[in-house]
Structure 1
Amino acid sequence: MKKIESFRIDHTRLKRGIYVSRKDAVGSECVTTFDLRMKEPNNEPALSPESAHTMEHIGATFLRNHAEYGDKVIYFGPMGCLTGFYLLLAGDYESVDIVDLVRGLFRFAADFEGDIPGASAVECGNYTFMDPAGAVIEAKKYCAEVLDVISLENLVYPE
């Protein structure tokens, strides 16, 4: 079986950042998949499932309501390894194009107070599986240590 592209990235050299994971043609349109890497793979603890679930609710709500990108958001959700999130946007983008969007997203999550969007039995299949405090801590860490000081090594996959 052919190895998929995301498994060809050397995760022992991967830093936290914003990466273009892939670009796919869907009809005549391009869909760009971003790797929003919050944790250095295999070198620091992964996100807790509860905090990732909370960030998914906050993040998806922020992104789908964004004035510029809201209608371009196809998907936002956690990676199976819980070291970050995937963001799929309609359009042909590079990592540098969405730095401000991702900063805004995680600052919003870092400052979030109140009821988590969609966190009720009617709206979510596992609404009690949330950790708002953990989500805030992780979002603040990603902003301070990565997004606010981002450089080229955090925007292009290692070779």
Structure 2
Amino acid sequence: MVKKMNVESFNLDHTKVSAPYVRLVGITTGEKGDQIYKYDLRFCQPNKEHLEMPSLHSLEHMMAEFIRNHLNNVIDLGPMGCQTGFYLAKLNHSEIDDIIVALEKTLQDVLEATEVPACNEIQCGWAASHSLEGAQAVARKMLEKKDEWKEVFQQQ
């Protein structure tokens, strides 16, 4: 038996999920009643594929910037260390369908972009590591499988 961990994703059986998907990871309630919803935006099948760093980095910049045009109260959108997707943290409740619609619109924005936002040495800590074309290829691939985003676990 695997020991229960403090980090939710460490308790997720990564061999049972079927990427791509959008999954509510958890809800944290603050002392004043506000709630933070954390979502797993999984682009790649764990332990089978991953996002190359320049593509992931550019996609992070674009999604972090663009998703705020489609969702209110976004706290953060950041990459997973395993390079298979992103975490989205949002204040107060949103239906999973709202997250999916916002993600689709955000990825469409990525496809229409002509440059990576904040891709310079003043605004980015590793400005040399970006790929607009790579990010757009990842966005295109994710959008092609949009109908699968609600299916988190492999069909038995």
Superposition TM-score, scaled by structure 2 size: 0.87
Partner letter of residue 39 of structure 1?
C
User: Is structure 2 residue 51 aligned with structure 1 residue 47?
Assistant: yes
User: Is structure 2 residue 90 aligned with structure 1 residue 82?
Assistant: no
Name the structure 2 match of 1:38. Answer: 43
Partner letter of residue 97 of structure 2?
V
Q: Please give the per-residue CA displacement for 1:58-84, whole angstroms capped at 9, x wherever unaligned.
A: 1111123x1x524x0100011010100
User: Which moves more between the two structures, 30-39 or 103-112?
Assistant: 103-112
Name the structure 1 match of 2:148. Answer: 150
Name the structure 2 match of 1:13. Answer: 16
Superposition TM-score, scaled by structure 1 size: 0.86
| 1:52 to partner: Cα distance | 0.8
Q: Aligned pairs, how many?
A: 150
Q: Please give the per-residue CA displacement for 1:38-97, whole angstroms capped at 9, x wherever unaligned.
A: 001112x20011111101111111123x1x524x01000110101000110001234223
The secondary structure found in structure 1 opposite 2:151 is: helix
Contact 1:60 1:76 in 2 (8 A): yes
Tell me: CA distance 1:90–1:152, structure 2 relative to 1, closer, same or farther (3 Å): same
Tell me: CA distance 1:29–1:41, structure 2 relative to 1, closer, same or farther (3 Å): same
Contact 2:4 2:11 in 1 (8 A): no
Q: Please give the per-residue CA displacement for 1:107-150, whole angstroms capped at 9, x wherever unaligned.
A: 2112322x2111111111111110111111010000002x2x23
Segments ≥4 residues shifted beyond 6 Å: none
Structure 2, unaligned stretches of length 5 or more?
none
